[in-house]
Amino acid sequence: MLDEYLRKQHEKNGILLMTHIVLGYPSFDASFEIVRAMVDAGVDLMELQIPFSEPIADGPVILKANQKALKRGARVQQCIDFGGKVTEAFDIPFLYMTYCNILFRYGIGSFADGMATSGIRGAIVPDLPPEEGAEYLSAMAQRDLSPIFIFSPTTSVDRLAYLSEHCRGFVYCVARKGVTGQDTEFSEQLESYLQRCRRATSLPLAVGFGVRSRQDVEFLKGKADIAVIGSQTIRLIEEEGIESIGPFIRSLRP
């Protein structure tokens, strides 16, 4: 089970690092080298985003990467094939992140089959709530895959409890309202919110949206289990190239 793996890793490392890439950006060959650089630098698990034309939870940096990947011809089947390639090559858990239109167009059962066959451990689908996801949840459960749901600072206590009933693997806690890539205030207010999340679930907590530095990761240590780094690595790839990724990831460890 994914949560058991994460707990064991957490005992060794104190806080885990999860990174995020957009598949096919800048190209599929480059995506593989980015994965290699991140794994070599010690990340514990990784989100592989299947590009979508309207990624509503993502800010301008990840949106731009989605658009460029699609413009260059990235397709869902290529992404699923890529998932199998990296799970065979690297010994960490990989998850897909995408939006519900992708699942419905591809076929929910077929998508889950592709995940299971490729060795992908779970999926994050931000715009598919449990109320509308019965088929998805059933398909994931049948294949022992983890559906990851999202907590936010505005989620009520009752809603946190409801989402917890359906989540497996870990819970993704967004650090603030809004989309990815913006500034986040690492403060007592964030700590209080994470305490509410902790009371709502026994699963590991991952925190993303605005994690950019070792200082941010150090703040989350003891308050969450996983720090998620997404937009910042894409910025670095654009500005300094893939070779900058390894040193950056290593610099995040407390």
Q: Which residues are catalytic?
A: 47, 58
Report how far residue 128's alpha carbon sits from residue 43's, in angstroms, rounded to the nearest whole number. Answer: 27
Here the tokens at position 215 are: 């200082």
DSSP letter (8 states) at residue 242? G
Contacts of 117 (CB under 8 A, 6+ apart): 84
What DSSP assignment string belongs to 90-114? --S-EEEE--HHHHHHH-HHHHHHH
Contacts of 227 (CB under 8 A, 6+ apart): 15, 16, 17, 18, 206, 207, 208, 211, 216, 217, 220, 252
